[in-house]
Structure 1
């Protein structure tokens, strides 16, 4: 049953709540609506509850979106706010990504106890991360590192680091900025050397197909350049059947009327990597991503992917 109040679904972490609040603030400004016109609805997801193993071993992408999507189907919420990098490339029937907010900084950061820079960690130091991509990129630079599982929200991971469970960890700069915690970063890693997850730094809104009330509402806060870049990145991911089991990195950027893309696939231990670069008109964003994915897959060969399943 439709209500006048716009119900925004979100996970309950501090970062997820900050992203929902940012979405609400943008909608308030765009439509001159009071805060009371919105209700932020917190929904616990499988990804939040599973803390004892990697997401790759728990089911991969979709663990942070499934329960929010069920709430959309049940009409308990009107829109769901997600981190774009958590979104599977194939959405459930009757749901769509209806808007992207303007993208934050896409870079990763290193936060160190034993060193200020990732490359300066002591030999064999323990690096905590839950991301196979970050693990692979770090081991590509420093094969001697001992990578351990670091699950939990931003504050949990920082607490683990503070408690000495690792000598360093890696986080997204965008999340730290949204939490006003960017000062904890000891090194910002360049995109060229440490490319981000596809979709990193971008908030997306998911809603029901055909819900014109919500579509018109969120159209006003959609950021076109971010949408173009994400169309390319998500197409690249889809072409590689990307999941949490596949270390895939990449970044698309709009430069004038052109789109530039750089992508990379790695083995989990970082010992092998293949890169691809592409550019073209912004209108061809999805095609550029799909073609880049096909080319890097052909370059790597079938045997490269055999250990990913």
Structure 2
């Protein structure tokens, strides 16, 4: 049975209220496919029965599970390589020059199942940052994704999506049918559940924030609110990396746009500084 217009409207309103994710008309097929999976997992014989139970708030956890089912968990290793090149070629040299001591702090916001956070950890390890130290915070709205990131376990299909064979050998251990990120790399990554649409908890400030392919799901007011929170979570001179279809331009004028090869990254100005050397696209 398909969702009725009133059911879709109720779900869209609840998801936007809880997670600020906008489910516009035309997303009915996406919503139905995710509800169908949730209905099977939760023991309901139809989507209609699932929605009715959620509307009655019985059990109370069902609405939370429904919201989490609507979050997008699409990811891969080194997804869209340009932002990772921007990190190593533009942001990292600037950070090392301006703050030569102390651990590097990076936040992978909306980390999904953790591939982004561990991709960053691999890059930093290769760049020799283990001596200086680095800390990566990986957060997501979904408790299931946070747990998967913390465990660092991936099946063969998942490691085949963008992970070079040399990195698999160096940074993973085979455990049955799965591969697990080794203890040394995992020790640099901490996890927590966090809703970007809400006020942020107290956190130490970050040198870099990855917030990729997240803003596209928010309305303009939420984009502004989220970018304002992220800006306050960054150190002066800190860097923000967005998805290819995202920008701060026209939304938050307090970020400086810095070209970086085939992409652009964004920086919180920190007073007088040397201009950033632009990276020429390949």
Report the TM-score, using the length of structure 1 for normalisation: 0.29
Report the TM-score, using the length of structure 2 for normalisation: 0.31
Higher strand share: 1
Higher relative contact order (CA 8 A, sep 6+): 1
